[in-house]
């Protein structure tokens, strides 16, 4: 009973914070693109920004699911204060389609103000078992796709001298975890791309932000499913819920912070350890692999 009340109060607190930040961010009438509107985070973003009066462009791989999401948003909002979302099919795994996708996004409103890049593809496996085709698919989804879309919309932002590119990235863009070789490589690549881009476009009034997280759970209010992870201690979940992640996104759009890390203390310590005590970090990672292998043989 007490836990349920605490969870509800947490949700109300987050909702109140998001509403307050939205009023400061002034997303009303802003053109906002969400690259994966069908994920848990994407749907939460769509709901918050739609209610805030943004002109949404929702992207995803399934037209039927995008239409369903648009219907859900319409039924839960006041049509006199919101705009019907525009829908665009987007699959970063199909790089040949990107020129048409970019053109379609720009044609929706003739410009865009905010691009939220939240698409991601994950693979966990020993390096030698991952095929070249899977390597390429991961790089397309996690690096080439977001980079290509950002470059495609930049001329419009530069001509208007305004815009905000926000990358939702994994903490593995900052440090590496065993059995995620190509995934970590793609996340490092996209992190480096937007870090470089930030300095290039600042003179045009364009902001670039990156938000790095451990993982985003499918449940609300931080009730992430417990799993045995290299980040886990006593099997406590270290992920963030979609509503918490959206609150951080809204906050970042408001204060234009360049880099945000959403993580408990253990992963944050690992980032610093990797930078200042690399040999210690490598030893801990190797020990973790050996312990996992021993556990599986038991």
Task: Kindly list the catalytic residues.
Answer: 183
The answer to whether 264 and 238 are in contact (CB under 8 A) is yes
CA distance 83 to 72: 13
Residue of 246, 186, 179 whose CA lies nearest to 211: 246
DSSP per-residue codes, 83-111: -PPEEEE--TT-GGGHHHHHHHHHHHHS-
Among left, alpha and beta (phi > 0; psi -120 to 50; other), residue 235 is left
Residue environment code for 39-58, b if the CB has 16+ CB neighbours within 10 A, otherwise e? bbbbbbbbbbbbbbbbbbbb
């Amino acid at each position: 009973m007490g836990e349920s009340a605490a969870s509800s109060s947490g949700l109300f607190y987050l909702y109140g914070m998001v509403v307050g930040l939205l009023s400061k961010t002034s997303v009303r009438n802003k053109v906002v693109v969400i690259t994966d509107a069908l994920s848990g985070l994407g749907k939460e973003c769509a709901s918050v920004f739609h209610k805030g009066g943004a002109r949404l462009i929702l992207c995803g791989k399934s037209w039927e699911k995008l239409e369903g999401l648009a219907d859900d948003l319409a039924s839960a909002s006041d049509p006199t204060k919101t705009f019907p979302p525009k829908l665009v099919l987007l699959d970063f795994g199909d790089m040949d389609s990107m020129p048409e996708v970019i053109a379609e996004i720009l044609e929706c409103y003739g410009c865009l103000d905010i691009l939220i890049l939240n698409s991601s593809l994950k693979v966990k496996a020993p390096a030698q078992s991952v095929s070249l085709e899977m390597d390429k698919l991961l790089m397309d989804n996690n690096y080439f796709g977001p980079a290509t879309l950002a470059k495609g919309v930049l001329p419009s932002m530069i001509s208007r001298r305004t815009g905000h590119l926000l990358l939702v990235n994994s903490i593995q863009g900052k440090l590496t975890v065993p059995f995620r070789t190509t995934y970590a490589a793609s996340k490092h690549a996209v992190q480096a791309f937007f870090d470089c881009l930030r300095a290039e476009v600042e003179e045009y009034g364009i902001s670039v932000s990156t938000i790095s997280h451990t993982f985003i759970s499918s449940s609300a209010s931080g009730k992430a499913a417990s799993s045995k992870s290299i980040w886990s201690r006593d099997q406590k979940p270290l992920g963030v819920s979609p509503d918490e992640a959206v609150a951080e996104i809204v906050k970042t759009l408001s204060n234009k912070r360049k880099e945000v890390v959403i993580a408990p203390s253990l992963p944050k310590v690992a980032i610093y350890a990797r930078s200042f005590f690399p040999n210690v970090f490598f030893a801990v990672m190797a020990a973790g692999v050996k312990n996992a292998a021993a556990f599986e043989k038991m």
